[in-house]
Amino acid sequence: MKKYKYILLFVIVVFTATSCGLDNYDAPQSRLHGKITYNGKTLGLRGTGEAVRLQLYQDGYQLRDNIQVYVGQDGTFEALLFDGEYKLVTRDRNGPWVNTRDTIVVNLKGSTEVEVPVTPFFTIDNEDITLNGNVLNATFNVNKIVNTANIDYITLLVSKTSFVDDATNIARKDFKGLQAGPQNLSLDILGNANVASAKALFARVGVRAVGADQAIYSEVMRLK
């Protein structure tokens, strides 16, 4: 019986020592950061719900599982990793851009910045969003980048925080049947209790292409 007790004790000690060794590994300290761009300009995206992602891969590992990198609404991203060579790609059929999934090789050591160029279906510029009484007015321009792309809808969004998108808002209006070019749209927020009680209001414009899983967005503007 003593023999089995000694064997059991030996197994416990080995397991404990191994577990402690695993716990003592250093956490990743190298910082990969960057932005998603078109013609050098960072794109406005949905930043909540981990909706827009990039994927990192490392060769030489059996599992080859990808590392998910979540993109913020300002089009930037960041991840803490171990030094090494990584392959960075956009997530399949995710984002308001052409699904090319070009591979970017990243040699990470310390802190590394990377730019991920994409071709969006549309872009937004010259946006001006104002609140006049109970009416939100938005003027902006929608540029068609991909000739075959069509607009599914354009949306006006209001939020009580600086996070504004099609999933995070307290007021929303979608417009269908619109074409690219100058836009002048409005949203009546009269009677919206959430808007009336909000201490701060932020607004944003979004354009979603037919067949895309995400919209492209303007910059967030503070209304009050």
Structure tokens at 10: 């030996």
Can you name the residues that pair with 170 across neighbouring β-strands? none
Residue type, 192: N
d(Cα 90, Cα 100) in Å, to the nearest integer? 8
**Domains of the chain listed by start with CATH number:** 30-117 (2.60.40.1120), 122-222 (2.60.40.2060)
**Main-chain phi, psi angles of 122, to 5 degrees:** -140, 160
Per-residue pLDDT of the chain (224 residues; tens, 9 = 90+): 444 333 333 333 333 444 444 455 578 889 999 999 999 999 999 999 999 999 999 876 555 678 999 999 999 999 999 999 999 999 999 999 999 999 999 999 999 999 999 999 999 999 999 999 999 999 999 999 999 999 999 999 999 999 999 999 999 999 999 999 999 999 999 999 999 999 999 999 999 999 999 999 999 999 99
CA 58 centroid distance within chain: 22
- Determine the pLDDT at residue 155: 98
Q: What was the pLDDT predicted at 27?
A: 82
- pLDDT attached to residue 23: 52
Q: What is the DSSP string of the chain?
A: -HHHHHHHHHHHHHHHHHHHHHHTSPPP-EEEEEEEEETTEEPB---STT-SEEEEE-TT-SS-PPEEEEBPTTSEEEEEE-SEEEEEEEPTT-SSB------EEEEESSEEEEEEE--BSEEEEEEEEEEETTEEEEEEEEEE-STT--EEEEEEEEESSS--SSSS-SEEEEE-S--SEEEEEEEE-TT-HHHHH-S--EEEEEEEETT-SSEEE---EE--
> pTM score, two decimals?
0.86
